[in-house]
């Protein structure tokens, strides 16, 4: 995919799936603005890797659950690059526990980052996209938002909410040249899955028809497709990237 003269904002872009998305877009020629919550070193490593691919890249610290922080970050991106063409809402957190033991604060933290954060980012870029009569928004949901998962009521609710947000925004923005889609990754090899016990990994793999974990670059390539010109007639859709897990 080619993204010459395009500027992409990727939330949660410092590592894992977010880093892979930044690199995929940078390899296609996009300017990349990656938002990160706290790991400055990882964020700068990702930005440097994007620059090595020939792209311009900027890392901005931003808590996506903070409306003023999001507004300031998008303003900075527009000031530096003049436009925002692509928004990838990837930032996410987990606070797993069973319902009876889940603290209200943990439910709120997950929903505020994963769902409210996506809403705030869309709200603060959509005006610029409407002026351009062009935009690509890709929200990162999860297979958990499609099928649920014990011990993740907060995460499942937030990721299911992202799907609803995607469809509502797609209906509102379609006539302004802006598409809104989502990807729903399944069991992807990241730092988080690397920390799982072997029995937990085996249990998860047993539910995947493909018989293996996915890779971050496989998610990134799907995001790049939805962010590109070839997906201009696709909006309001959810693409599961899960080896058949959600069938």
Report the CATH number at residue 95: 3.40.50.720
List active site positions: 155
Residues 211/154, Cβ–Cβ less than 8 Å: no
Any idea which residue has 């303003």 for tokens?
A: 75
Domain annotation covers residue 198:
yes
Domain annotation covers residue 245:
no
Give the chain's domain count.
Answer: 1
Domain annotation covers residue 246:
no
In tens digits, the chain (247 residues) has pLDDT values of 799 999 999 999 999 999 999 999 999 999 999 999 999 999 999 999 999 999 999 999 999 999 999 999 999 999 999 999 999 999 999 999 999 999 999 999 999 999 999 999 999 999 999 999 999 999 999 999 999 999 999 999 999 999 999 999 999 999 999 999 999 999 999 877 777 778 878 888 999 999 999 999 999 999 999 999 999 999 999 999 999 999 8
Domain annotation covers residue 142:
yes
Q: Tell me which residue range forms the domain holding 126.
A: 7-240
């Amino acid at each position: 995919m080619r993204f010459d003269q395009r500027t992409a904002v990727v939330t949660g872009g410092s590592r894992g799936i977010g880093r892979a998305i930044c690199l995929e877009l940078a390899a296609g020629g996009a300017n990349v603005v990656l938002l990160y919550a706290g790991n400055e070193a990882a964020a700068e490593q990702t930005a440097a890797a994007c620059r090595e691919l020939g792209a311009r890249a900027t890392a901005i610290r931003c808590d996506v659950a903070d409306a003023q922080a999001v507004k300031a970050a998008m303003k900075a991106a527009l000031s530096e690059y003049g436009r925002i063409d692509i928004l990838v809402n990837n930032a996410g957190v987990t606070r797993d526990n069973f319902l009876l033991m889940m603290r209200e604060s943990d439910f709120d933290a997950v929903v505020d980052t994963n769902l409210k954060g996506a809403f705030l980012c869309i709200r603060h870029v959509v005006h610029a996209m409407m002026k351009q009569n062009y935009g690509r928004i890709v929200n990162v949901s999860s297979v958990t938002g499609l099928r649920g998962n014990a011990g993740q009521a907060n995460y499942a609710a937030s990721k299911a909410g992202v799907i609803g947000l995607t469809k509502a925004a797609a209906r509102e923005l379609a006539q302004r040249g802006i598409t809104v889609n989502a990807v729903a990754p399944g069991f992807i090899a990241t730092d988080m899955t690397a920390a799982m016990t072997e029995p937990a990994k085996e249990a998860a793999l047993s539910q995947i028809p493909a018989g293996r974990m996915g890779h971050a670059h496989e998610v990134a390539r799907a995001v790049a497709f939805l962010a590109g010109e070839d997906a201009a007639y696709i909006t309001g859709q959810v693409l599961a990237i899960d080896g058949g897990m959600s069938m």
